[in-house]
Amino acid sequence: MLMMLVEGMIRQMTILVDLDLDDGSIALNGAESQSRADAQVEPIIRCKEIVKHFGDQTVLSGVNLDVYPGETMVIMGGSGSGKSTLLRTMIGTHKPDEGSIELFGQCVCDLDEEGLNEVRKKFGILFQSGALFNSMTIAENVALLLREHTDLDDEIIDIQVKIKLELVGLREDAHKYPAQISGGMKKRAGLARALALDPKILFYDEPSAGLDPVTSAQIDQLIIALSRQLGVTSVVVTHEMDSAFAIADRMAMLDRGVMLCLDQRQWFEHLRDMPEAEAQNMDENRRLVRQFLRGDADGPLASRRDEVGYGEDLFGMTPDLVTRTPSVQPTRG
């Protein structure tokens, strides 16, 4: 256990040498990452025909997704597309109504809470809000998992906490409480805590949401560095396109709970940048994805919103019924 800890500390110190959070630069060792999605590599995450209902609403409909070791998978989609539900299903917060999910080659759908907690020790989660304990300092938040799930001495825990906080540029703020730091610092502190147990997988829920451009770029660089140098597999849910294209190896697009596209980042870049005349000949799904990638005001997404009448949207009835049926009946003769 101690040798594994020392090796992990050495790898993390390598990142600290290569990553400069002050000037936004990053140096990565080795060649550019290649796709792991080939027949000889088993996925570290496998989602098969995932279906999830909330009451009468189907949020996920037959979603298939394989994530391979060491890659960064970006899951995109508009509000209500099902991307956050898919992430919560992967980490065991929601159980799928149909289909199966495998993590590290193990099906987690039928595990009891104790078994699921053992699997959870192998991955970390950066929540959108940071999800820090307000009564604890930043250092105590990061140390919590080490105290709960390891038998390490306090001195070793203290070293680990300092390394994790240095990775995200917060070592000098270790004594502060969440109420004393900015939203961006809370996000970075949450990432430090997600790294506490040296996870093999990191799940990110909107890591760039609410951050200024410089801090957002620093988070992107950390995601890349963790993947390239520590071999951490990253699953990132986001609708921030600049961040998505900066970090992704592969990208997936969800719409109304259906997986529309799953491909290499370069495919999505080509779709985004192709001439408008060529794009007009694509089917509606491809034009929808292109509109989302480009942030265009006009396109299939906008047309879809215009299909439902205002009265129907407000009251669940047709506009004619709204005008013909007064909500208050007159009492005077």
Higher pLDDT, 23 or 201: 201
The pLDDT score that the predictor gives to residue 313 is 59
At 27 the pLDDT is: 38
Please check whether residue 309 is in contact with residue 318, taking contact to mean a CB–CB distance below 8 angstroms: yes
Please calculate the CA angle 7-10-12 and round it to the nearest 5 degrees.
Answer: 110
Q: Mean of the per-residue pLDDT values for the chain?
A: 82
Report CA torsion sign: 319, 321, 324, 325. negative
Residue 201 burial (C-beta neighbours within 10 Å; 0-12, 13-18, 19+): buried
Maximum mean pLDDT: which of 45-54, 74-83, 130-139: 45-54
Of 128 and 202, which is predicted with more confidence?
A: 202
pLDDT at 127: 85
Provide the percentage of residues in the chain whose pLDDT is more than 90.
44
Separation between Cα atoms, residue 291 and residue 283, nearest integer Å = 12
Q: What number is the average pLDDT over the span 139-148? A: 91
- Binned at pLDDT 50, 70 and 90, residue 9 comes out as low
- pLDDT value at 212 more than 90: no
Structure-model confidence comparison of residues 318 and 164, the more confident one? 164
Q: What is the pLDDT of residue 104?
A: 93
- pLDDT band of residue 33 (cuts 50, 70, 90) is very low
Task: Decide if pLDDT at 90 tops 70.
Answer: yes
Q: Is the predicted pLDDT of residue 328 greater than 60, yes or no?
A: no
| pLDDT value at residue 23 | 43
**What pLDDT does 46 receive?**
96
Hey, where are the domains in the chain? Answer: 2-271
φ, ψ for residue 51, nearest 5 deg: -125, 130
Predicted local distance difference test score (pLDDT) of residue 185: 86
Residue 4 clears pLDDT 70, i.e. is over it: no
- Percentage of residues in the chain having pLDDT higher than 70: 80
Q: pLDDT band for 24, please (50, 70, 90 cuts).
A: very low
In whole angstroms, what is the distance from residue 212 CA to residue 200 CA? 28
Residue 278: both structure tokens together: 């060529």
Position 329 scores a pLDDT of 54
Q: What's the pLDDT tens digit per position in 277-319?
A: 888 888 889 999 999 999 888 888 877 766 655 555 556 655 4
Mean pLDDT of 204-222: 85
Which CATH superfamily hosts domain 2-271?
Answer: P-loop containing nucleotide triphosphate hydrolases (3.40.50.300)
